Structure 1
Amino acid sequence: MGGKYRITGDKYPRMRPPRRRGRLVVVVVACGAVLGVGGWGTLQLIDVFTGGGGTASAAGSKAGCTTKASPAAAASPAVLPAPAQITVNVFNATTRGGLAKTTADELKKRGFKIGQVGNASNEYDKKVPGAGVLLGPAASLNTSLPVLATQLTTAERRTDAARTGPAIDLIIGNAFTALTAQPEATRALTALTAPHPAATATTKKHC
């Protein structure tokens, strides 16, 4: 080349297009975003098919969850004795004669065992204003006393810790007219001794 300028030496500049670093950065960021979204979607699918983020236990509950059992219904009451297993002493605390014997005979027809029959002791004689008093040992409170009470539903129930033996007393009071009618007493006895099914406990999970 002529003129004012000359190229000297054996090395010549190479004509290359300028590098586009911005485009490269955009491509890298886009690829990273695609990979991230794909990985997140995969984790969600795994979570759906495995039942959640916790590790399932052998019982099927998730780790990190607490299981609370609701209380079951109250247990069935203790088995009550049958009338044939209950010995009843019948005492008359009124001024009317013959009540102890007639009442004892009726209770015997209804299946109860009869023990002593006679007048009430001084502690109760002419001192029972109601229909009667059912008196037994402490152990009879929820066993034999409720069974006998089905035969005279208006009677008062009492226990005496000093009493020994399983027999219970029926002390006839001034308001007594007769035992509860047998059909009604039988229904009450059936309802009292009927078994009650135990309720099933339920569980709740809190995660």
Structure 2
Amino acid sequence: MTIDPSKISTSITPFAMIDEHSALPQEQEILFTMHSVFRIVEITQTPSNNRLWEVQLTITGESDPQLSTLTNRIKEEIDGEGWYRMGKLMLKVGHFDQAEELYNELLKGASTDSDIAYIYHQLGWLKVDQGKYPEAIKFYEKALEIDRKTLPEDHSSLANTYHNIGNVYNNMGEYSKALEYYENALNIREISLPPNHRDLSTSYNNIGGVYS
């Protein structure tokens, strides 16, 4: 492992030697921060044991162009701030159990209706990805209940939640219920969106799919 001091930001300490505090000082343990990023330089098989591989790593700097490209791409795909952003990232990479644990903790500390509705919506999304459709509907319905009390009747968030619930019922083969929610989403979108908006096309397509 190689660490070039010139690549380390003065505002970030990527690692600390903790062998003095370890139960086994001879192991020379190193503690790395979560935001430390290393580049894989080389992977070689050890001559003495063909079951072991040696990985050469070198720390990246904030000016690393590939790291900057990756970071910017993640920012484009995963919006939000703090732990909410972390939850989205966990969902994106399929770490559903960790995401659920995080959202449940966020739910305990949520202080506004919008935050609570958002967390319920994310939990619904999580359950859809897990294929647990009845649980997904329960969470989406909780989000919808809050949004209907706090948002205007033609708000896009309501349309999106109706749309998502319709998708779940459609996946379950309960087409009459899917149609009901798809039509609710369409009614809002026809009021709030321009006639050439993509979401309107999606609603028409979903309703057509149910009838077919």
Q: TM-score range by the shorter chain?
A: under 0.3
Q: Which TM-score applies when normalising by structure 1?
A: 0.17
Higher relative helix content: 2
Highest RCO, 1 vs 2 (Cα 8 Å, sep ≥ 6): 1
Q: TM-score when scaled to structure 2?
A: 0.17
